[in-house]
Amino acid sequence: MKSYYHCLSIKANNYIWLLQDKALEITGEAIEEIENGFLIRTEKSEKYVESLKAQLNAYAKEIEAIVEEEIKLELNVSVCANEDWIAKYRNSITPIECGDYYIHPSWHTEKVDKINIIIDPALAFGSGHHASTLGCLKALSALELKGKKVLDVGCGSGILSICAKKSGANVWACDTDEVAVDSTKENMRKNGVVLDKVFLGSLNRIPQERESFDIVVANILADIIVVLPLHDFVKVQGYLILSGILDKYVSKVLAKFKDFKVISQKINTEWATLVLQK
């Protein structure tokens, strides 16, 4: 272990969770959430840290182009005396209880009266702590999943897919990010489940599955939700669970799915989760 490490502080006025996911994708390093941002600690070189800063700046610009909204990104680097910060980080991660689900990292003990889901936040996208993921978990908990056919669009870490599978559903999962698909497969193995289909890509890969899913879940940006033909893949009387939606974009999403019945509309720290029925 080196005598020092670099600590990169990332703060932004919005879309912190997307920046976290990108940082995890790029680095594989542990991150620690702070107010309005997160920290990355690494023993790698100053050149590596500068490259990481450049990649995060570029990614923020990509998000801005998609959402047509400015992201005020603050990146600061400090050099710190080394300590056992991995253990410190692990101690900072708290498990989540949501309905029947108990989501916890691999170093925490399981609960015998819960459906245990192992997700290591440092290695995956989506640990259940973000308001949009938590909203989806609550929505899934409220529905009967046993024997249902579920599609998770933008599966990330696979947390929602694995929860649905452990509740007895037939689960398909997809993501346009190869790292996310690999992460879902790794978390399948950790949780001792096999999803029915996991594939790289989006709905255009499965045109034959239109109107075949009882539940379609999409925890992605509102601008992507309104572009994807999600409604085409839900059975009549089936459900759409939509999240990753800032509250100011709710009306835009509801307008896209005006033919659906609104079952619930819940907002947690400016993030909305919608449950709609076809």
Burial 152-171 (b: 16+ CB within 10 A, else e): bbbbbbbbbbbbbbbbebbb
Answer yes or no: is 152 a known binding residue: no
Q: Is 133 annotated as a binding residue?
A: yes
In the numeric block, the tokens 């919608």 are attached to 274
DSSP 154-167: S-TTSHHHHHHHHT
Helix pair angle (16-27, 46-67), 10° resolution:
140
**Residue 219 annotated as binding site:** yes
Q: Are 219 and 136 in contact (CB under 8 A)?
A: yes
What gap in Å lies between CA 69 and CA 248, rounded to an integer? Answer: 12
Residue 112 phi/psi, 5° resolution?
Answer: -70, -25
Q: Are 125 and 157 in contact (CB under 8 A)?
A: yes
DSSP character at residue 266: E
Annotated ligand binding at 36? The verdict is: no
CA separation for the pair 49, 75 (Å, rounded):
11
Please give the torsion angle defined by the CA atoms of residues 41, 21, 267 and 223, in that order, rounded to the nearest 10 degrees: 140
Residues constituting the chain: 278
Residues annotated as binding site for S-adenosyl-L-methionine?
133, 154, 175, 219
